[in-house]
Amino acid sequence: MTEQPNSPQLYLVTPVGAAASTVGPLLADIMDRFPVACLRIPGAGTEDELGRIADLAREIAHARDVAVVIDDHVQLALRHGLDGVHLKDGARSVRYARKELGADAIVGAFCGTSRHDGMNAAEAGADYVSFGPCGASALGHGAIAELELFQWWSEVIEVPVVAEGALTPALIGHLAPITDFIALGPEIWSEADPVEALAHLWR
């Protein structure tokens, strides 16, 4: 799939609640083996814990020319030298994040299954919009982002689109021609061998 002309890029989400010492070697291994375009840190945990993960992720990712964003924590992104934020409230915080982080930062917006939120986020200056989940998942409100949403977005809107949530090899195959990024995280971290799980999904 990744060799197709219009193939999406890999957007990796770090495991929720993992200790920096545990996740570091895994991230380095994955980024050495797979062409990761962006790394996202979920916003769960205390600021101290997130700060440790942020510093480690930044060091590993930037050494490999990979951008790092974090869920929602604008000030933490600033303090720890991250490349931007992934906002989980659709378009609502995009302008604030842009003002705080500056024109060069990455500001992404998760918009669930809503075209309206996606368009508002794009209009507010988001660098990408994320829709999901693409399969049965607790992500967002549980409603599934159908393939038609990605098809419409790719035909009508220029802002890059990310697909995430409960992705399978079959779904990735369908989404590949109509998305810019495929976000994978829970799909691999729940497996005994995350590297092997990613290899199975990212073929």
Domain ranges (residues) in the chain? 9-201
**How far is the C-alpha of 129 from the C-alpha of 134, rounded, in Å?**
14
Residue 115 has pLDDT above 70, yes or no: yes
Residue 12 has pLDDT above 80, yes or no: yes
**How high does pLDDT run on average in the chain?**
93
Per the structure block, which two tokens stand in for 175?
Answer: 């989404």
Assessment of whether the complete model's pTM goes beyond 0.85: yes
Residue 3 has pLDDT above 60, yes or no: no
Residue 140 has pLDDT above 80, yes or no: no
**How far is the C-alpha of 86 from the C-alpha of 177, rounded, in Å?**
23
- CATH homologous superfamily of 9-201: Aldolase class I (3.20.20.70)
Residue 2 has pLDDT above 60, yes or no: no
Buried b (16+ CB within 10 A) or exposed e, 25-41: ebbbebbeebebbbbbb
Residue 106 contacts residue 84 (beta carbons within 8 Å): yes
According to DSSP, residue 191 is labeled S
